[in-house]
Amino acid sequence: AEKLPEIMDDSVRPVDAKEELLDECESIWKQMEECQSKLTLIRAEPLSEPDAKLSLLVMRMKALTAEYNQWQKRSPEIISTNPEVLLALGKEELQTVKKDLEMVLSTVQSKNKKLKEDLEREQRWHDEQEQILDALKGIEEEMKNEVVSCSEKRAFQELKNEMLKLRAYKEELLNALGEFLEEHFPLPEEDGSAKKKKKKSSEKPAEQLITLHEILEILINKLMSTPHEPYITIKDSFWPPYVELLLRCGIALRHPEDPNRLRLEAFHQ
């Protein structure tokens, strides 16, 4: 630490100055004691205990107020007017301040040195971390390119497998539905009770009726191909009991304005 200049004292001895200052302080203290004695001699008439306490508190308040006003009015006074005493005290005070400042300066310089070392260590650690981060980013980019290609292939293959499963499941459902309908809802000509009466020879031959399975396929295809216009026209090949069955079971719906048009209920929505 940079040392402060030494304060020289060639004119006044500090011991003599302190003795003179102590003599002046003792003289002032004796004057204060005399004033205090005069104040204690001033007594009031005997009062009852509560009145005495109240009177004592009032006197204390007045005394403190008067002392406060006096201190507000007066300005600081120098105890000693001897310039040699003041010079000696000032030099002694400066020596004390000098030592304190030297101690503070040494502490601050030590802390600055420690902070500088910490900063350099943290900077080296930061540089090392940045190098590691750059290396990891490069490895990440390489792995990302490899993973993307592999993941795309895997996702495409999984999607393809799912589509194949869905197609197989769809075919299975359609086959099961066809077998069920063929067993329980055969063509009308195959059921004796559903045979149609023969037409007269002059009339045109009746249109060949289709199975309930075929009617449902037509309705499904129409709904899937044109969902905005899912209605189909009821043809002569649609056996009326099958049409009525679909309507009663809620599988099909008539057009609100045209009863000859039919659509499949949108169960998938």
Contacts of 208 (CB under 8 A, 6+ apart): 237
262: which residues sit within 8 A by CB, 6+ positions away? 219, 231, 232, 233, 234, 243, 246, 252, 253, 254, 255
Distance, in Å, from the CA atom of 71 to the CA atom of 76, rounded to the nearest integer, reads 9
Q: For residue 219, which of 186, 192, 245, 183 has the smallest C-alpha distance?
A: 245
Residue 214 and residue 208: Cα distance in Å, rounded?
A: 12
pTM greater than 0.95 (yes/no): no
Residue type (1 letter), 246: L
Contact 218, 234 (CB under 8 A): no
Query: Distances in Å between the alpha carbon of 211 and those of 188, 208, 263?
Result: 8, 10, 17
Give the list of residues 6+ apart from residue 158 with CB closer than 8 angstroms, or none: none
What's the confidence (pLDDT) of residue 181? 81
Give residue 95's pLDDT.
Answer: 92
Cβ atoms of 6 and 102 closer than 8 Å = no
**Could you tell me the mean pLDDT of each successive run of 10 residues in the chain, 269 residues long?**
47 64 80 76 58 80 84 67 79 91 93 93 92 90 76 82 89 84 73 44 61 88 88 90 90 90 80
Q: Quickly count: other Cβ atoms within 10 Å of residue 246's Cβ.
A: 20
